[in-house]
Amino acid sequence: MTNWDLASQSARTWGWIVRKVVTVPGVISVGLGLRSVAVGAATAGVAIAWLLAPIQQYSFDELPGRRLPYVPDAWFGAYEAVYERFGPSLGLSQYYFFGRFAFLIYVCGLLSVLALPHGQSRLTRVGRRLLLGAFGLGLLGDVLAYWGGTGEELTMLTSVGFGLIEIPAMLLMVAAAVCYGLGLLRDRVFPRWSAWSLVCGGVLALPGSLVVITYVPHGFLITMLAAIAVALVGYAIEDRRAVARDEQDGYDPLRERGS
């Protein structure tokens, strides 16, 4: 085998690796493994927000008795046991103790948005960057809000973090998700229902947080992350179809080596 043949085979092998692991033409520059992790991250974010919302609203609204919103009242004992085990020793009220786990929701959101398609148009690229920025800004506000106090009274940092940073971040998230989803539709990135999921997530996030799970930002983020998770599932399915077509029509060094 000449040096030219070796270089040519190496180039073909590298091209197969790129298509198989790193990119899927016309869809996104991440591999199947990364997108699967992103689906898990978005789903985990929904679960964390849903688990934290009841006890956070119970503490913030000072609800009577041991009655929890959104989940069975029997769960109160589990929340109480976790808090009694760790909260008092850290000098934290129930509100601030459980609130300090909320940053994980935004981290899951950032990881999931990173796996969304980049798109081709300016609208799509800007929308995706704004969506990433909105989750990053929300993370900053959330950390200030829940790590800026310890006792029963809300602190100035909590008010600033939530009111001046986190709320604008959520509004930016709505606009970014809608613009980004519409950009993907215009770019004809398939499947189209994934892009519609992002648009619907942006449109429904605020009404959902006012009607269904009214504790903010958790109720808002549940809707947004659920929409992102659905979109990612669609893109993951399209990834697998593209890779299957690539293997059927293209070069597979593993199969050639075994022959």
DSSP secondary structure of 62-120 = T-STTPPSSS-GGGHHHHHHHHHHHTGGGT--HHHHHHTTTHHHHHHHHHHHHTS---S
Residue 172 to residues 169, 178, 203, Cα–Cα distance (Å): 5, 10, 12
Rounded distance between C-alpha atoms, residue 212 and residue 183, angstroms: 29
pLDDT confidence of residue 259: 45
Does residue 99 lie in a domain region? yes
pLDDT confidence of residue 33: 72
Rounded distance between C-alpha atoms, residue 181 and residue 101, angstroms: 29
Does residue 259 lie in a domain region? no
Q: What is the total count of domains within the chain?
A: 1
DSSP bridge partners of 24: 28
Does residue 49 lie in a domain region? yes
Does residue 1 lie in a domain region? no
pLDDT confidence of residue 57: 96
Does residue 129 lie in a domain region? yes
pLDDT confidence of residue 30: 53
Does residue 76 lie in a domain region? yes
pLDDT confidence of residue 44: 98
Q: Which residue has the tokens 């129930």?
A: 94
Does residue 28 lie in a domain region? no
User: Would you say 150 and 96 are in contact if contact means Cβ atoms under 8 Å apart?
Assistant: yes
What is the residue range of 108's domain?
38-240
- In the chain, which stretches have pLDDT less than 70? 1-32, 243, 245-259
Rounded distance between C-alpha atoms, residue 113 and residue 205, angstroms: 16
Does residue 60 lie in a domain region? yes
